[in-house]
């Protein structure tokens, strides 16, 4: 079990819906995907270590849930501007998506 947080701490996390508009494997990487998402009127690039579980074309068009206010990071020389949420159990990994066609950029509460 992880440490409990307060509702105020949780509110600091900006979870948004993001539609995948482009996705490709990162050259010379074993497990990274470069994912371009649309969040409202903004496009962002997110680098995620999920290529062992998803082919790029499987993600295009999906509406994912991302952490929008995560500090930017560089992976394999690429800037990552957020984090794709996933559920994982050993050899099983699923990206977190919306159950309906939802506009991109919506804030999760």
- What is the phi-psi region of residue 8: left when phi exceeds 0, alpha when psi lies from -120 to 50, beta otherwise? alpha
Q: Residue ranges of the domains in the chain?
A: 7-95
pLDDT digits (tens, 9 = 90+) for 81-98: 999 999 999 899 999 999
- Report the chain's mean pLDDT, rounded to a whole number: 96
Q: Which CATH superfamily is domain 7-95 in?
A: Nucleic acid-binding proteins (2.40.50.140)
Query: In 10 A of CB 71, how many CB atoms?
Result: 7
Per-residue model confidence (pLDDT) at position 90: 87
pLDDT digits (tens, 9 = 90+) for 23-74: 999 999 999 999 999 999 999 999 999 999 999 999 999 999 999 999 999 9
Residue 1 predicted with pLDDT over 90: no
What does the alpha-carbon distance between residue 67 and residue 72 come to, in Å, rounded to a whole number?
11
Residue 109 predicted with pLDDT over 90: no
């Amino acid at each position: 079990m992880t440490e409990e947080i307060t509702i105020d701490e949780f509110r600091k996390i900006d979870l948004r819906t993001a539609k995948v508009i482009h996705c490709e494997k990162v050259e010379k990487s074993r497990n990274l995907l470069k994912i371009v998402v649309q969040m409202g009127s903004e496009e962002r690039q997110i680098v995620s270590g999920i290529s062992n579980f998803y082919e790029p074309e499987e993600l295009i068009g999906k509406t994912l849930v991302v952490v929008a206010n995560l500090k930017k990071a560089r992976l394999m020389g690429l800037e990552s501007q957020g984090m794709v949420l996933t559920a994982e159990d050993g050899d099983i990994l699923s990206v977190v998506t919306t159950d309906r066609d939802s506009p991109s950029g919506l804030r999760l509460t």
